[in-house]
Amino acid sequence: MNRKGLSVIASLLLIAGVAGAQAAPQRPTLFGQRAMLQQPAVPAGTRVYGNINYGDDARQRFDVYRPAQVSNAPVIFMVHGGAWAFGTKSARGVVENKAARWLPRGFILISIDYRMLPDTPPLAQADDVARALAFAQRHAKEWGGDPSQFIVMGHSAGAHLVSLITTDTAVAQRNGVQPWLGTVSLDSAAMDVVAMMQQRHLPLYDRAFGSDYAGWVAVSPYQQMHARIVPLLAVCSTRRNNSCLQARRFVAKALSFGSQAKVLPEDLTHEQINAELGEASGYTDDVEAFMRGLSPVVARALSP
């Protein structure tokens, strides 16, 4: 492999922050069938419904993790990262600490896969995320969830995608998404794709966003924000050059429209911001403080 190829691979691993932490993909199962193989560690008594189809493509699947006894539960809807090119819904860093923290408090966790590069560009990936969200909302009651109590969360590329469906309301509308409580964006450095692509950047962004200015605008959460959005928490790593800068600009624009939005800078690596969320820490406490403000149902679930 030539030097350029090695550079691209190194960049992908750096930004995704999931190297060595991914579980093998599950075998497809029928809708509602309990997944028995290749699951990350979850609390005892968790009921797992694996590889639920929300589309015709083999990659359009999600897993549902729910406590044994639950009804009308709030739902955390999680989108993994991976530079828009790789990653998995069942990675330990995506699932384990979040499930350990929030399932015992009465939440349901849904973790999704979606189509990725090279055949599916980020804008179409955002459609997959919105389609999965709409499907999960329609079927939430079958797993004991409340379709009106969804919190949308994503890391890295997934953070970009959830931020995009938050600001580009057309994506959500054409896929039948109902309003959700709020969005938690975990360390995206692609909140303003236009500005990022006009500066020095990693090669992986060229692969994801190409060279067309109009295409950058279409897939940029910052440029697609034209009105008030649902409450959003932008978590950013202070160890990265551009993540917090973009988060602050994004939040400032959201506030200008009267939105509830906040930046949460953390002295953690890109990988740690995902994997350590749910561990007992001030970081998890701060994310939960944002979550409590989204609804009385969530506040009660998170009460001591």
Residue 38 pLDDT: 55
Q: Is the confidence at residue 254, as pLDDT, over 80? A: yes
Q: Is the confidence at residue 27, as pLDDT, over 90? A: no
CA distance 57 to 166: 24
3-state SS, residue 298 = helix
| Token pair recorded at residue 80 | 């993994």
Q: Is the confidence at residue 23, as pLDDT, over 80? A: no
pTM: 0.88
Q: Is the confidence at residue 31, as pLDDT, over 50? A: no
CA distance 36 to 26: 9
Residue 304 pLDDT: 83
In which band, very low, low, confident or very high, does the pLDDT at 28 lie, cut at 50, 70 and 90?
very low
3-state SS, residue 299 = helix
CA distance 114 to 87: 10
Which of 84, 13, 95 shows the shortest CA–CA distance to 62? Answer: 95
Decide which of 3.10.450.40, 3.30.70.270, 3.40.50.1820, 1.10.260.40 is the CATH code for 3-15+38-260+268-301.
Answer: 3.40.50.1820
In which band, very low, low, confident or very high, does the pLDDT at 58 lie, cut at 50, 70 and 90?
very high
Residue 33 pLDDT: 34
In which band, very low, low, confident or very high, does the pLDDT at 5 lie, cut at 50, 70 and 90?
very low
> Domain segments of the chain: what residues?
3-15+38-260+268-301
Q: What is the mean pLDDT of the chain?
A: 89
3-state SS, residue 135 = helix
